[in-house]
């Protein structure tokens, strides 16, 4: 409600507020201008390098990126600054060099990566920067450091960065690391193979996931498996739904959802023959994976021995196509089970309410 003229007269400040609203409506809006990058001075670059270690690092990174080669020397020096916190200034300087991506920036990253006196975390950040530079020299350097005998944090970052350099050599180097005893290295290899995303990479991941389901924590790993959804892929993920760690269970469910209809046959089989926990989660997933026969399978699950499966089947049927659900309920009701009769009444009530809306 807008204040009236009488209100403005009673309250002098109200008139000022109304004037401000009026001017704000008719005047063109101005957006803050980007930092001026035309004048590159040593002092300005030094200030931005310092800001990399602060809460204002994002704006500093953008401005340094705009400076390009003019900032490379200072960024290279920042990588070697042993007085700074390696998690912030030096590591962020390496990331900016990778985004600059010029030959000078690549040379600085290669030199820092080869410097064994640097903290492995900083060298790992340099590996991450080289993952953004698509040149043979960068790929060769990453292949040389993605070995299981190096510092784990460096190997992890080099393995993950190899995802930016897809090649048969990269897959051959990363696949054995999926069985490395160090969890960090396994994760980096899974991340890199997932980023490569080819069928060969997905098959290597699938073999490893069967032994180490925790690899599904890497989002690119899940996406690569889903992109090449074969019956064998989905079938290998079904047992992971019973994993004791909820994060791994959730990751397996996400991969099955990404696989879409490719995951339907194993899910239908799991709903009929899996463990109680697998049947329960399969019922939840089938509500989100459209496929032929799911309504019939969920209707049969209304008589499951586990109450969680029965309840999930009811909820899932409500989210399915109402026409098919009615046919499936009619077939299930023919069995004369009172549990089906109670569930059918609840489902029909919900479907009727949904149609009214």
Those residues of the chain that have pLDDT short of 50 are 1-13, 16-18, 23, 27-38
Is 91 a domain residue? no
Give the model confidence (pLDDT) of 271-286 as tens digits: 999 999 999 999 999 9
According to the model, what pLDDT value does residue 110 have? Answer: 96
Is 277 a domain residue? yes
Rounded to 10 degrees, what is the CA torsion of 212, 218, 219, 222?
Answer: -20
The total domain count for the chain is: 1
Q: What is the distance between the alpha carbons of residues 141 and 113, in angstroms, rounded to a whole number?
A: 8
Q: What angle, rounded to 10 degrees, do the helices at 338-356 and 307-318 form?
A: 30
Contact indicator for 297, 264 with CB cutoff of 8 Å:
no
CATH code at 281? 1.25.10.10
- Say if residue 178 is exposed, middle or buried (CB neighbours under 10 Å; 0-12, 13-18, 19+): buried
Is 208 a domain residue? no
According to the model, what pLDDT value does residue 292 have? Answer: 84
Nearest of 119, 39, 46, 110 to residue 77 by alpha carbon: 46
According to the model, what pLDDT value does residue 357 have? Answer: 60
Is 72 a domain residue? no
Distances (CA, A) of 198 to 19, 194, 304: 61, 8, 40
According to the model, what pLDDT value does residue 229 have? Answer: 62
Distance of CA 247 to the CA centre of its chain: 13
Distances (CA, A) of 355 to 325, 350, 351: 14, 9, 6
Is 342 a domain residue? yes
Is 281 a domain residue? yes
- Say if residue 3 is exposed, middle or buried (CB neighbours under 10 Å; 0-12, 13-18, 19+): middle
Is 252 a domain residue? no
Domain of residue 284, residue span = 260-357
According to the model, what pLDDT value does residue 154 have? Answer: 96
Structure tokens at 223: 């996406």
Nearest of 201, 202, 210 to residue 239 by alpha carbon: 210
Contact indicator for 238, 208 with CB cutoff of 8 Å:
no
Residue found under tokens 């032929």: 292
According to the model, what pLDDT value does residue 355 have? Answer: 66
Is 176 a domain residue? no
Instruction: Determine if the pTM surpasses 0.75.
Output: no
According to the model, what pLDDT value does residue 7 have? Answer: 43
């Amino acid at each position: 409600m807008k204040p009236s003229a009488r209100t403005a007269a009673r309250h002098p400040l109200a008139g000022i507020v109304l004037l401000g609203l009026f001017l704000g409506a008719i005047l063109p809006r101005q957006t803050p201008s980007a930092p001026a990058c035309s004048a590159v001075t040593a002092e300005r670059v030094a200030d931005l390098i310092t800001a990399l270690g602060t809460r204002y690092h994002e704006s500093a990174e953008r401005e340094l990126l705009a400076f390009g080669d003019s900032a490379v020397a200072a960024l290279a020096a920042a990588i070697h600054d042993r007085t700074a916190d390696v998690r912030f200034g030096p590591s962020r300087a390496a990331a900016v060099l990778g985004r600059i991506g010029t030959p000078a920036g690549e040379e600085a990253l290669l030199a820092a990566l080869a410097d064994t006196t640097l903290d492995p975390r900083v060298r790992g950040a340099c590996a991450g920067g080289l993952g953004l530079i698509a040149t043979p020299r960068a790929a060769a350097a990453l292949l040389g450091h993605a070995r299981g005998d190096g510092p784990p944090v460096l190997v992890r970052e080099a393995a993950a960065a190899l995802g930016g350099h897809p090649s048969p050599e990269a897959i051959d180097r990363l696949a054995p690391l999926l069985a490395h005893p160090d969890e960090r290295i396994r994760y980096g290899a899974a991340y890199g193979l997932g980023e490569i995303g080819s069928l060969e990479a997905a098959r290597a991941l699938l073999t490893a996931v069967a032994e180490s389901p925790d690899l599904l924590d890497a989002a690119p790993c899940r996406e690569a498996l889903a992109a090449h959804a074969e019956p064998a892929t989905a079938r290998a993920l079904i047992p992971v739904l019973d994993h004791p760690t909820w994060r791994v269970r959730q990751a397996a469910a996400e991969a099955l959802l990404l696989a879409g209809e490719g995951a339907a046959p194993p899910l239908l089989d799991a709903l009929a023959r899996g463990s109680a926990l697998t049947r329960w989660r399969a019922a939840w997933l089938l509500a989100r994976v459209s496929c032929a026969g799911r309504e019939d399978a969920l209707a049969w699950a209304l008589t499951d021995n586990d109450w969680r499966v029965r309840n999930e089947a009811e909820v899932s049927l409500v989210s399915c196509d109402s026409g098919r659900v009615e046919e499936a309920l009619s077939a299930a009701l023919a069995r004369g089970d009172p549990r089906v009769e109670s569930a059918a009444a609840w489902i029909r009530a919900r479907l009727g309410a949904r149609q009214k809306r």
